[in-house]
A and B are shown apart, each in its own frame.
Chain A
Amino acid sequence: MSLLTVENLDVFYNDLQATFGVTLHVDEGETIAVIGANGAGKSTLLRAIIGLTPTGRGSIRFAGEDITHQRCNIVARRGIALVPEGRRLFHSLTVEENLLMGMARARPGPWTLPAVYDLFPAMRDLRHAPASDISGGQQQMVAIARALLTNPRLLLCDELSLGLAPKVINEIYACFADIRGSGISIVLVEQDTMRARNSSNRIYCLLKGRVTLERPAADVTLEEIKHAYFGDHGS
């Protein structure tokens, strides 16, 4: 049975429709990647799943329960966590205080303060630094750790590699083996198509708010991705 099922999702920003009948699912323990150009509706999809943006039409089911119109904090307590685009740390809190916020309403589970410090050892030395004073890569690690500390069943990651150097991106993606190992399912939103394909089980491509491709990552060809990414005009 799927952990997350999204069916015919329409999301609106005021009068603007951002997604059109998006249908996707994530199985227990699976990692899916959602790729697509800027403005394709990827971030909107994640925001709708966790309840930050209200759903217009369609349904979202998580772990057998309907969460379509649930408030964000309720959805979070059910076991969905978000690593938001642009990291969005609490910048007037220290690194460790950011992590404590993740723990405060956490579900029981394997992710504890020592566990995330083991995952990102560099964070331990920075734990008393203001979150605004650390580098972008370090901020991304704190954002991931903060989300993990809620002990989610599903982790939504929005544009982890945005604005980071390739070496730093590799370090961050290296942690996903451990995260998957703890049984967490993952939705990766990525602009970097190759990286998305290499780190996921299945790929969805969004184009102007519609799903244009759904394929096992191992089977997908560059030609298919190109077609789905740019539409007919791109090929």
Chain B
Amino acid sequence: MSIVEAILNGLMVGGLYGLFGLGLALAFGIMRVVNIAHGEFIVLAAYLGVSLLTLTPLPLPLVVICVAMAAFALGWLLQATILNRVLGPNPIPGMVITMGLSIMLRNALVKIYGSNIRSIEVGALQDRGLSFFGMSIGVLPLLIFSAAIVLFVATNFLLTRTTIGRAFRAAADDFEILETLGFDRRKIYSAAMGLAVTLSALAGLLLAMRSSFSPFSGAERLLIAFEVVIIGGLGSLRGCFLGGLFLGVVQVVALRLNPNAGPLFGHLAFFVVLLVKQMNFSFRPAWRRA
């Protein structure tokens, strides 16, 4: 039974992992930006959440909305003021810029918050659990998993049912033709980066409710995000979600079997997937319907 329980718990973590991948996948899929600061955005949102909860009387739902809006503004500004200047076939300038940004953010967080471990307190919810068939599932992980599913469904709705979402996908396919139809590519990209950072920020808040974090947590999240996106196949929402579930299940089951393994087996599984795929994933992905 304990393996089944581990798989269930793995799925719960996996939903969040999928969400880590989603922001990265959107930024890469739509404007070919490899956002190295992705992990730091996740952690930054977590710290922002902690600050708002401790310094202001705002309840958690309002804090989530505030952080999401701030994240959208940050993503928009980053794309509009900096990344839109380095558009082109060469991905290196964007990588260098976001890498520099990640270093600055990490150190700013250490300066402001110190390097102690933090987390978001969710009160009694923390310890509540559901028991069935002799297994127990935490209520909080289940809620976080549900939130991840809701965000994936909402993103899918946005991409397939709204003009701006279709413009995101069209820009990924052929931005020149999109311009000939009267769209300003730069504005589309700014909105897309706003969305990508918003999703990363929401993932960061969920992470902060589930586990503790420090200013140095970003690199590990970035790694998970990369693994999720590559396992799931670039440019597919469903692939991103399934990639997250796969990685989550492997990690939790492996931890159950060998409690000292840490994230080792997740990375090993990723390595195996790479070998199987023989690196022949498409590097110019289409943003397919999920």
Contacts and interface: CB of A to CB of B under 8 A. Distances in A.
Contacts of A81: 180-181
Interface of B: 163, 166-167, 169-170, 172-174, 176-185, 286-289
Contacts of A17: none
Contact of A73 (B170, B173, B184): B184
B174 A52 contact: no
A112 B201 CA distance: 40
Interface residues of A, number: 27
Q: Count chain B CB atoms within 10 A of each CB in A88, A90, A147 and give the residue with the most.
A: A90
Interface in A99-114: 100-102, 104-106
A101 B179 CA distance: 11
A91 interface: yes
Contact of A92 (B163, B179, B185, B289): B289
Given A90-B177, A92-B288, A104-B163, A150 B182 contact: yes
B167 A104 contact: yes
Contacts, number: 76
A76 B177 CA distance: 10
A227 B166 CA distance: 48
A82 to B, nearest CB: 5
A93 B169 contact: yes
Contacts of A82: 177, 180
5 contacts: A51-B179, A76-B181, A97-B166, A104-B166, A105-B183
A90 B175 CA distance: 9
Contacts of B286: 91-92
Contacts of A77: 182
A50 interface: yes
Contacts of B178: 90, 101
A131 to B, nearest CB: 9
Q: Which of A76, A82, A104 has the most CB of B within 10 A?
A: A104
B288 A72 contact: no
Given A73-B185, A100-B163, A104-B163, A90 B180 contact: no
A90 B178 CA distance: 9
Contacts of B167: 101, 104
Contacts of A54: none
Q: Sorted from nearest, which 6 A-B pairs have the closest CB atoms?
A: A105-B182, A92-B286, A72-B179, A90-B173, A76-B182, A90-B170
Nearest to B188: A73
A92 B180 contact: no
Contacts of B289: 92
A18 B273 CA distance: 47
A94 to B, nearest CB: 8
